Amino acid sequence: MQRGRERVVALVDMDCFFMQVEQRLDPRLRGRPCAVLQYTEWQGGGIVAVSYEARAFGVSRGMWASQARALCPELALVRVPQARGKADLTRQASSQSHPNPSPQPGGKGTQQTRAHPNPGPQPCRKGTPSQAPSQSLAPWCCPSLEEMPTLILLPSLFPEELRESGLQEWLASLSFDNPDCPDLQLTMGAVIVEEIRAAIEEATEFRCSAGISHNKTLAKLACGLNKPNRQTLLSSRFVPQLFSQLPVGNIRNLGGKLGTAITDGLGIEYIGQLTQFSEAELQTHFGDKTGSWLYDLCRGIEDEPVKDRYLPQSIGCSKNFPGRTALATQKEVQHWLLQLALELESRLTKDRSQNHRVARQLMVAIRMQGDARVSRICALSRYDAQKICSDAFALIQNCNVAGAHQAAW
């Protein structure tokens, strides 16, 4: 098998997640242009999540409510609750780990809103085709169009009739006699992911999108291509076409400094253009390891393992003080550090009892005038807001441009 096509990797991502949390609480928001706000003091508040109906009007995350309303006058706005002077994301956080707290009688979601005629997983769908290496997969494992109600193949085929005829052609092109055929394996993965997404919607009422491909980078990329409520299969045969026009920064891990070093250093725009460079050339520019990684990546090959991660590795809370709201005295800095520490103490305490673990390290990160960022670390000795606050203050005290012992900051 061609290198890099051995695995099937799927990435599933909730659509406009905070918005769906609010829509579940207030179903009248479903199907409408709406957005979630944090804070309301300045320009009506900043937008953190946007329904796809509102995105069609040009509303996006980061806009002020007033800007968004100008684009979409009928926009419904919901505000994240506040606690300790900042956004209280408790209900979003708990929605990540728990299904719908109050299931409706008879179930909601998939069954009413999205037909999923698949009668249920068939025994052969449980495994990957490679579990039956010596047998032909046809006809007992040939998936039907009904089992892929939301699957989009790349290059995307719209409208719906074209999607279906494209899928039909695709199925006809697969070699069911060869369970090692990578495209067949992706297709079987896509059928399983349809079932997973339908089960997620059934249990939580939340819709999600997914990408199915051969590695984490391609799966993530594919997932974002046909949101919302769709899943996208990215076969390696479409990678050259897709990458030929895909900006470098759109690739996972290349959105920041490394991406800029690639575009500026090599004078290229699209990830596919990296294929013009030899592995040795890329190693010269970016070091042996990164050079080799990029050499494969621009060909759609990546080996990063998928690891189980059931719990977040860190628990954090933050607050921005943009423009004129910037903190100007030590008292203000201490006040807000305490508010953050109180939230942290309560979340850490909950985490300790739920997950039987204890955090050992405290990191404080601040953004200063001119956008300079500083982060410092110290030991976290106990879950006590006052102690966290004073330790955090000690860590950042010498960042005070007015001098460490001045009342001004």
Amino acid at 247: P
Verify binding: residue 15, ligand DCP, rule CB under 6 A: yes
Mark the segment that binds ligand DCP (CB under 6 A) among 8-16, 353-361, 364-372, 373-381: 8-16
Phi and psi at 37, nearest 5°, equal: -110, 150
Write the CB contacts of 101 (distance below 8 Å, at least 6 apart in sequence). none
Verify binding: residue 207, ligand DCP, rule CB under 6 A: no
Residue closer to ligand DCP, measured from CB, 17 or 270? 17
Q: At what angle do helices 330-355 and 385-396 cross, to 10 degrees?
A: 130
Residue 15 beta carbon to ligand DCP: minimum distance, rounded to whole angstroms: 4
Q: Is the peptide bond before 105 cis (omega within 30 degrees of 0)?
A: no
Binds ligand DCP by CB under 6 A, chosen from 34, 35, 37, 48: 48
Q: Give DSSP secondary structure letters for 277-335.
A: S-HHHHHHHH-HHHHHHHHHHTTT---PPP----S-S---------GGG---BHHHHHH
Q: Could you say which residues in the range 217-276 bind ligand DCP, by CB under 6 A?
A: 227-228
Verify binding: residue 11, ligand DCP, rule CB under 6 A: no
Residue closer to ligand DCP, measured from CB, 227 or 347? 227
Verify binding: residue 176, ligand DCP, rule CB under 6 A: no
Residue closer to ligand DCP, measured from CB, 256 or 267? 256
> Cβ–Cβ contacts within 10 Å for residue 108, how many?
17
Residue closer to ligand DCP, measured from CB, 86 or 227? 227
Residue 333 beta carbon to ligand DCP: minimum distance, rounded to whole angstroms: 23
Residue 129 beta carbon to ligand DCP: minimum distance, rounded to whole angstroms: 30
Calpha distance 261→279 (Å, rounded): 17
Output the CA torsion sign for 117, 119, 123, 127: positive
Residue closer to ligand DCP, measured from CB, 166 or 211? 211
Residue closer to ligand DCP, measured from CB, 14 or 234? 14
Residue closer to ligand DCP, measured from CB, 311 or 394? 311
Mark the segment that binds ligand DCP (CB under 6 A) among 14-22, 230-238, 256-264, 400-408: 14-22
Residue 87 beta carbon to ligand DCP: minimum distance, rounded to whole angstroms: 8
Binds ligand DCP by CB under 6 A, chosen from 8, 14, 184, 219: 14
Residue 20 beta carbon to ligand DCP: minimum distance, rounded to whole angstroms: 8
Verify binding: residue 18, ligand DCP, rule CB under 6 A: yes
Give the CA count within 13 Å in the CB-facing half-sphere of 241. 8
Residue closer to ligand DCP, measured from CB, 49 or 200? 49
Q: Read off the tokens for 355.
A: 């997950």
Mark the segment that binds ligand DCP (CB under 6 A) among 9-17, 169-177, 245-253, 384-392: 9-17
Q: Are 356 and 349 in contact (CB under 8 A)?
A: no
Please report where in the chains the tokens 């290229």 appear, as a residue. 268
Residue 36 beta carbon to ligand DCP: minimum distance, rounded to whole angstroms: 7
Calpha distance 155→162 (Å, rounded): 11
Q: Are 389 and 338 in contact (CB under 8 A)?
A: yes
Pinpoint the alpha helices (H) of 49-173.
52-55, 65-71, 90-97, 110-113, 160-173
C-alpha closest to that of 193 among 145, 237, 241, 150? 150
Binds ligand DCP by CB under 6 A, chosen from 8, 9, 16, 234: 16
Q: With CB under 6 A, what is the number of residues at the site for ligand DCP? A: 10
The contact set with ligand DCP (CB under 6 A) reads: 13-18, 48-49, 227-228
